[in-house]
Copies of this chain bind each other. A is one copy, B any other.
């Protein structure tokens, strides 16, 4: 077996440069644990001279990551650019084609091209490792692939986006608006300064859900559309109401097998305050996994930031150095079938609905008439007038209702002229929790 491993890091943002420092610091420990000598022989980023937290060796700098692969003898490459396509994909493809092991925290890339890239990796007999793509420092993928290897997993759900969880936690705590808390998250470095949309609209969580499903249920990564809602429309009013109802708002990613069909979804949920998941705060991530025979397993840890992400990247690194050649998705790709997809029109939940209306006679009766038409029954109704503005908020908690009915109902309610804003809908977790 090889004794010396040449390593390249492509992308030197927060994660790449932290990792670079971490590998240099831990070289001796790695040698002790694996018997392997590590050399970082090449690094690459957009800007050679950008100010970074950690000093880089400019003698091994390449502006073009593809050139780096042609020119250097490399055994393991870290792809830390983070795009779902473009240069990220090209780097990984070229690396695998050149029989280089690949490690990446790039969930967007794996969720979109994981099948194609893992096929390549299996053909070329190299590792494609992506522990850092889900749950930051939580070794959740390894736990599914190895720690719970022969369990039959039925369901996984959790808080998978630290940015959203931070924003929801802060909004609840401070009463501040979404916009101002988002600004604070960006100042803290928890949210992308430029375009945080992929965090906030649920896409980031969904990419992680898709990777989890593939591993947990031994299926191909699903390419189907599915229910995806973010947190952008939640207002401080909703936190006040949740509080009164002894509930808390969390953005959950959920995947499970229902009647042999895969049901993946991402949306804000109202969870009971005394549940475990309600008490996962700030940038923390948590994953809850239901399996047989293991029962319920919970993993919680810091979900974002260069420290936890590096921890996961390093675990993949040591796994390769120890010679553990593995199937990227735990099974040969031809043993992984495409999943049949659950029709989310049948998804059933109690709903929290908030309507903002002009305080005119008859509005409430119009709303309840529409609800009745779609057989949506009400378990609680709260009207909060804003007398100065002659407006009111109407909050309705429904009994359990199918997605199909609530969708149609809300579309028809849109026609009521005294409703002044798109209604807010938040699902109550676990169907009906009253």
Selecting from A5-13, A137-145, A177-185, A372-380, the interface stretch reads A137-145
Selecting from A94-102, A307-315, A352-360, the interface stretch reads A307-315
Q: Does A29 contact B (CB under 8 A)?
A: yes
In the complex, are the beta carbons of A294 and B301 less than 8 A apart?
A: yes
Q: Does A423 contact B (CB under 8 A)?
A: no
Closest to A131 in B: B147
Q: Which of B150, B292, B297, B310 contacts A301 (CB 8 A)?
A: B297
Selecting from A193-201, A316-324, A409-417, the interface stretch reads A316-324
Complex formed: what's the CA distance from A184 to B323 in Å? 48
Selecting from A79-87, A329-337, A363-371, the interface stretch reads A329-337
In the complex, are the beta carbons of A331 and B33 less than 8 A apart?
A: yes
Given contacts A33-B330, A142-B146, contact A302 B295 (CB under 8 A): yes
In the complex, are the beta carbons of B293 and A311 less than 8 A apart?
A: yes
Closest to A308 in B: B294
Q: How far is the CB of A368 from chain B (nearest CB, A)?
A: 39
Q: Does A22 contact B (CB under 8 A)?
A: yes
Q: How far is the CB of A76 from chain B (nearest CB, A)?
A: 15
Q: How far is the CB of A288 from chain B (nearest CB, A)?
A: 9
Complex formed: what's the CA distance from A92 to B149 in Å? 24
In the complex, are the beta carbons of A291 and B311 less than 8 A apart?
A: yes
Q: Does A276 contact B (CB under 8 A)?
A: yes
In the complex, are the beta carbons of A32 and B311 less than 8 A apart?
A: no
In the complex, are the beta carbons of A335 and B149 less than 8 A apart?
A: no
In the complex, are the beta carbons of A314 and B149 less than 8 A apart?
A: yes
Given contacts A294-B307, A311-B291, contact A150 B318 (CB under 8 A): yes
Interface residues of A in 241-291 (CB under 8 A from B): 276, 279, 286, 291
Q: How far is the CB of A289 from chain B (nearest CB, A)?
A: 9
Identical subunits present: 2
Q: Does A232 contact B (CB under 8 A)?
A: no
Q: Which of B294, B311, B335 contacts A151 (CB 8 A)?
A: B311
Q: Does A122 contact B (CB under 8 A)?
A: no
Complex formed: what's the CA distance from A330 to B34 in Å? 9
Q: Does A112 contact B (CB under 8 A)?
A: no
Q: Does A298 contact B (CB under 8 A)?
A: yes
Closest to A330 in B: B33
Q: Does A299 contact B (CB under 8 A)?
A: yes
Q: Does A124 contact B (CB under 8 A)?
A: no
Q: Does A326 contact B (CB under 8 A)?
A: yes
Q: Does A300 contact B (CB under 8 A)?
A: yes
Q: How far is the CB of A34 from chain B (nearest CB, A)?
A: 9
Q: Does A148 contact B (CB under 8 A)?
A: yes
In the complex, are the beta carbons of B324 and A295 less than 8 A apart?
A: no
Q: Does A30 contact B (CB under 8 A)?
A: yes
In the complex, chain B residues whose CB is within 8 Å of the CB of A314: 149-150
In the complex, chain B residues whose CB is within 8 Å of the CB of A318: 146, 149-150
Q: Does A296 contact B (CB under 8 A)?
A: yes
Q: Does A26 contact B (CB under 8 A)?
A: yes
In the complex, chain B residues whose CB is within 8 Å of the CB of A295: 137, 301-302, 307-308
Interface pairs (21), CB distance under 8 Å = A33-B150, A137-B148, A137-B297, A142-B143, A143-B143, A146-B315, A149-B318, A150-B311, A150-B317, A151-B311, A279-B279, A286-B298, A292-B307, A293-B307, A293-B311, A294-B311, A295-B307, A296-B301, A297-B300, A298-B300, A298-B301
Top 3 nearest A-B pairs (CB, nearest first) are A139-B147, A293-B307, A298-B300
Interface residues of A (CB under 8 A from B): 18, 22, 26, 29-30, 32-33, 131, 137-139, 142-143, 146-151, 276, 279, 286, 291-302, 306-308, 310-312, 314-315, 317-319, 322, 324, 326-327, 330-332, 335
